């Protein structure tokens, strides 16, 4: 690899685990989340001149999302924690320098599969999926990107071009592209060429309507928390001025799914909510299941159908195993990959099967999200950026990606809905990012180098770092 004086290598890593309790349960697919462990990494890097900088990364280890299974939650959770430790040690031994995108790509491509295979072999239990491994890796990947910006006193998004990177996008995609013309399109181009040149400071924000969420006052059971935050969907819409709702569906009960869509759609009309999306969370096997719901909705409730901006991930996330032709669905509504979009190669496979858009997540690594973004944009696929119900620091790279990606409609953000108390120290510095007002998030407080966390101003007391050697 060519090298620049700005190239970095990892010098030190600290790893923390922060428990977070939800105020209300979050149901998606067949599982329910009522608590989560957030992994946080502090990474020290050094450039070729000997200058050092520190960066931070964080993500919820959302076991139910990254590793859907009938296996016990505690077993999957403990496996994720142990794998984070293994990744920290591996990165300390990773003898490679470069720009964060180059380091991330080399590690994800060459080290992560071997580490995952060895980990699964040693456990001799249900294998941890690749998606879970990516989420664990994202903590360190984000921190390296942040550290790179900090050591050079520059916004990380200003480094995704030829001034700082040693390799163009062709290098990242080399050897994989089957279409020569598509492959050559990336020669001499960099992620900066696909990013919004003047990212907005305000983003429309999506609210997630979980499968257990009460929609109207009459649905309350009396067991709801009395903490000053809304519980009922109508109250959330009123308080936050929401205009975008993401509706979690079951995918195995068409009657329930249809009635849920209709009821939320009617509430949306009453409260001037302009945009809806339906998320089936990988539970559907037959496209006809979705088609019948959409066709009935269009016939019986056309105004609700009109407000449905896109459909998200109805089908199993393992696209290689489940090569379902989904063209019939995407002919009705835009169909977005989420769990399936592990990296740009899966985005390419999804497009060949009829998927039309991509939901990016920083929890699949900042490196992977940027490469998927570039491939998707070059190939005419619209984008969304969705969170993993991100609290604390995890929220900031997430909203920054959305601002630079150029999404079809803002950004999803649900941390303040399910655990608002978790982010109070960060909220003191960035009130507009952790509070939704007038249907938007305000990113204007993000400033400085790296991701712009302003972490030195955040009065967050961390637990002791864990031992990973």
% of the chain residues with pLDDT over 70: 98
The H helix count followed by the E strand count for the chain is: 18, 12
Average pLDDT over residues 5-14: 97
Shared domain for 152 and 301, answered yes or no, is: no
Shared domain for 227 and 333, answered yes or no, is: yes
Domain that holds residue 164: 8-177
Residue 434 reports pLDDT greater than 80: yes
Shared domain for 98 and 217, answered yes or no, is: no
For 17, other C-beta atoms within 10 Å of its C-beta total: 18
Strand ranges in 63-123 using DSSP code E only, listed in sequence order: none
For 307, other C-beta atoms within 10 Å of its C-beta total: 18
Both tokens assigned to 61: 């280890």
Average pLDDT over residues 18-34: 85
Give the CA angle between residues 351, 317, 137 to the nearest 5°. Answer: 100
Shared domain for 81 and 199, answered yes or no, is: no
Residues near 284 by beta carbon (within 8 Å), at least 6 away in sequence: 251, 252, 290, 314, 315
Q: What's the CA gap between 189 and 169, in Å, rounded?
A: 6
Shared domain for 137 and 276, answered yes or no, is: no
Q: What is the pTM of this model?
A: 0.96
* Long-range CB contacts (within 8 A, 24+) of 366-369: 366/100, 366/104, 366/138, 366/141, 366/142, 366/145, 366/397, 366/401, 367/100, 367/101, 367/104, 367/105, 367/108, 367/141, 367/145, 368/104, 368/108, 368/134, 368/141, 368/342, 368/343, 368/344, 369/401
Place of tokens 């959302």: 62
Shared domain for 136 and 233, answered yes or no, is: no
Place 27 in a pLDDT band, splitting at 50, 70 and 90: confident
Residue 461, domain member (yes or no): no
Residue 180 reports pLDDT greater than 80: no
Q: Given 121, 151, 177, which residue is the final one in a domain?
A: 177
Shared domain for 146 and 277, answered yes or no, is: no
Residue 445 reports pLDDT greater than 80: yes
Residue 249, domain member (yes or no): yes
pLDDT given at position 174: 76
Q: Lowest-confidence range among 92-96, 176-180, 288-292, 400-404? A: 176-180
Shared domain for 103 and 214, answered yes or no, is: no
Average pLDDT over residues 165-180: 79
Residue 351, domain member (yes or no): yes
Q: What's the CA gap between 75 and 444, in Å, rounded?
A: 41
Place of tokens 């077993």: 75
Place 28 in a pLDDT band, splitting at 50, 70 and 90: low
Residue 162, domain member (yes or no): yes
Mean residue pLDDT of the chain comes to 95
Shared domain for 14 and 140, answered yes or no, is: yes
pLDDT given at position 179: 60
Place 1 in a pLDDT band, splitting at 50, 70 and 90: low
Q: What's the CA gap between 237 and 259, in Å, rounded?
A: 20
Q: Given 177, 204, 219, which residue is the final one in a domain?
A: 177
Give the CA angle between residues 149, 445, 142 to the nearest 5°. Answer: 35
End-to-end CA distance of the chain: 30
- In the chain, the number of structural domains is 2
Shared domain for 113 and 68, answered yes or no, is: yes
Q: What's the CA gap between 316 and 311, in Å, rounded?
A: 14
Residue 272, domain member (yes or no): yes
Residue 176 reports pLDDT greater than 70: no
Query: Helix, strand, coil: what percent of the chain each, to 5?
Result: 45, 20, 40
Length of the chain: 469
pLDDT given at position 31: 79
C-alpha dihedral, 13 to 17 to 22 to 26, nearest 10°: 70
Stated as kind and residue range, the H or E segment containing 440 is strand 440-442
132 closest CA partner among 226, 37, 204, 218: 37
pLDDT given at position 177: 53
Both tokens assigned to 354: 């009829």
Both tokens assigned to 316: 């199993």
Both tokens assigned to 87: 């990744």
Shared domain for 159 and 55, answered yes or no, is: yes
Model confidence over 349-399: pLDDT tens digits?
Answer: 999 999 999 999 999 999 999 999 999 999 999 999 999 999 999 999 999
Q: What's the CA gap between 402 and 369, in Å, rounded?
A: 11
Residue 303, domain member (yes or no): yes
Place 25 in a pLDDT band, splitting at 50, 70 and 90: confident
Question: Are the CB atoms for 312 and 359 separated by under 8 Å?
Answer: yes
Residue 366, domain member (yes or no): yes
Q: What's the CA gap between 72 and 18, in Å, rounded?
A: 21
Helices of type H across 271-365: 287-300, 302-307, 327-330, 344-353
Q: What's the CA gap between 24 and 225, in Å, rounded?
A: 7
Distances (CA, A) of 296 to 76, 272, 304, 348: 39, 22, 11, 31
For 462, other C-beta atoms within 10 Å of its C-beta total: 11
Model confidence over 87-102: pLDDT tens digits?
Answer: 999 999 999 999 999 9
Average pLDDT over residues 220-247: 94
Q: Given 146, 177, 208, which residue is the final one in a domain?
A: 177
Shared domain for 71 and 210, answered yes or no, is: no
Q: Any idea what the CATH number is for the domain that residue 158 is in? A: 3.30.390.10
Residue 231, domain member (yes or no): yes
For 429, other C-beta atoms within 10 Å of its C-beta total: 18
Q: Any idea what the CATH number is for the domain that residue 378 is in? A: 3.20.20.120
């Amino acid at each position: 690899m060519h090298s620049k004086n700005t190239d970095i290598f990892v010098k030190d890593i600290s790893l923390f685990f922060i428990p977070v309790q939800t105020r209300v349960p979050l149901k998606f697919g067949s599982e329910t989340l009522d608590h989560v462990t957030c992994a946080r990494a502090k990474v020290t890097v050094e450039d070729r001149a000997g200058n050092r900088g520190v960066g931070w990364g964080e993500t919820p280890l959302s076991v139910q999302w990254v590793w859907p299974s009938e296996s016990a939650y505690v077993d999957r959770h403990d496996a994720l924690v142990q794998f984070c430790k293994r990744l920290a040690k591996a990165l300390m031994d990773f003898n490679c320098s470069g720009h964060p995108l180059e380091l991330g790509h080399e590690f994800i491509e060459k080290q992560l599969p071997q580490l995952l295979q060895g980990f699964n072999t040693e456990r001799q239990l249900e294998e941890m999926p690749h998606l879970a491994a990516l989420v664990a890796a994202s903590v360190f990947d984000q921190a390296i990107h942040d550290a790179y910006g900090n050591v050079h006193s520059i916004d990380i998004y200003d480094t995704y071009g030829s001034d700082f990177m040693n390799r163009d996008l062709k290098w990242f995609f080399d050897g994989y592209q089957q279409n020569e013309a598509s492959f050559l399109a990336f020669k001499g181009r960099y992620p900066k060429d696909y990013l919004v040149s003047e990212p907005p400071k305000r983003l429309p924000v999506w609210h997630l309507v979980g499968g257990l969420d009460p929609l109207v006052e009459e649905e309350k059971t009396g067991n709801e928390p009395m903490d000053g935050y809304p519980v009922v969907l109508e109250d959330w819409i009123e308080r936050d001025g929401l205009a975008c709702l993401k509706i979690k569906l079951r995918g195995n009960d068409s009657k329930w799914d249809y009635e849920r869509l209709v009821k939320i759609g009617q509430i949306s009309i009453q409260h001037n909510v302009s945009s809806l999306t339906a998320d089936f969370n990988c539970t559907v096997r037959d496209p006809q299941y979705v088609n019948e719901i959409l066709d009935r909705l269009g016939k019986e409730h056309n105004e609700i159908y009109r407000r449905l901006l896109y459909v998200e991930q109805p089908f199993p996330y393992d696209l290689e195993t489940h090569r379902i032709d989904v063209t019939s669905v995407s002919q009705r509504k835009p169909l977005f990959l989420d769990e399936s979009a592990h990296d740009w190669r899966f985005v390419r496979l999804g497009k060949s099967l009829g998927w039309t858009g991509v939901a990016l997540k920083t929890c699949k690594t900042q490196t992977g999200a940027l490469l998927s973004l570039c491939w998707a944009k070059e190939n005419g696929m619209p984008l969304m950026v969705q969170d993993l119900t991100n609290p604390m620091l995890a929220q900031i790279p997430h909203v920054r990606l959305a601002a630079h990606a150029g999404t079809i409609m803002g950004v999803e953000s649900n941390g303040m809905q399910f655990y608002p108390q978790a982010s109070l120290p960060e909220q003191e510095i960035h009130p507009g990012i952790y509070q939704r007002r007038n249907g938007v998030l305000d990113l204007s407080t993000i400033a400085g180098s790296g991701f712009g966390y302003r972490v030195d101003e955040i009065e967050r007391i961390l637990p002791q770092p864990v031992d990973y050697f």
